[in-house]
Amino acid sequence: MLTAAEHRIGCRFTSYPQDEISLLTIAPYIHIINIYYMHMNQEGWFFQMQLQAKYVILGLLRTRAMSGYEIKKSFEGDISFFFDASYGSVYPTLNKLEQEGLIVKHTIVQTDRPNRHDYTITEAGIEALALYLQSPLIEDKVRSDLTMRLYFGTEEEDAELADWIRQGLEQHTSKLSRLSLLMEQHEAHMPKSTKLSLLYGIGYHQGQVEALQRLQKELEG
């Protein structure tokens, strides 16, 4: 079953007379056309799409134009609470998005410093982001260093186990404090969906803190 966004995209391109379609007119939308027809020909393909840095970048650029440096700082800031991407993945992803016609790069010439490159999202990029946002939720994949250590730490002393738990507790307590501060400072002007995202993050780290505190009591008992 196609979503409303997919139908809009499909109708947009299938309604053109064949002799009016040229590579020049559809080049910026090749990515969207591929998504539409691959979905038509391979049921479930779109729903198996993994969360990638490209959609995070498209989401950022939907709000405003940003430089590569600003995007990188966003990955290191609020985005880091729910998406982990390396510094080296940002610029290759920007290049790929530009090649796919989903974003456009604007060069601002500066005399006293290196030229600035700002990126803006295109209509095709907005449609690609809409397709992602309207797809079924992708199941989260858990990667926990603490859980792995506890699972394999059968030969470790209790003191070592306690230290791992303490470190995990400090990490989640720190993130909980940062998220709570963000909520306190920006709740009044925060979009509803952003507030829900923040509340979910607060609840997640609060749950982790409580679980780790229970582990401490279990180890001490």
**What is the tens place of the pLDDT at every residue in 91-145?**
888 999 999 999 999 998 888 888 889 999 999 999 999 999 998 887 877 789 9
C-alpha count within 13 angstroms, C-beta hemisphere, residue 72: 13
User: Given the DSSP bridges, would you call strands 66-67 and 116-121 parallel, antiparallel or unpaired?
Assistant: antiparallel
Among 83, 72, 106, residue whose Cα is nearest residue 201: 83
Average pLDDT estimate for 152-160: 95
Q: Which fold has domain 4-133?
A: Arc Repressor Mutant, subunit A (1.10.10)
pTM (two decimals): 0.65
Q: Are 32 and 9 in contact (CB under 8 A)?
A: yes
* Alpha helices in 64-186, H assignment, sequence order: 68-76, 90-99, 123-133, 145-152, 158-186
Those residues with Cβ within 8 angstroms of residue 120's Cβ, 6 or more apart along the chain or in another chain: 61, 65, 103, 104, 106
Check residue 30 and give its pLDDT.
43
Q: Is 43 helix (H, G, I), strand (E, B) or coil?
A: coil
Q: What percent of the chain has pLDDT over 70?
A: 75
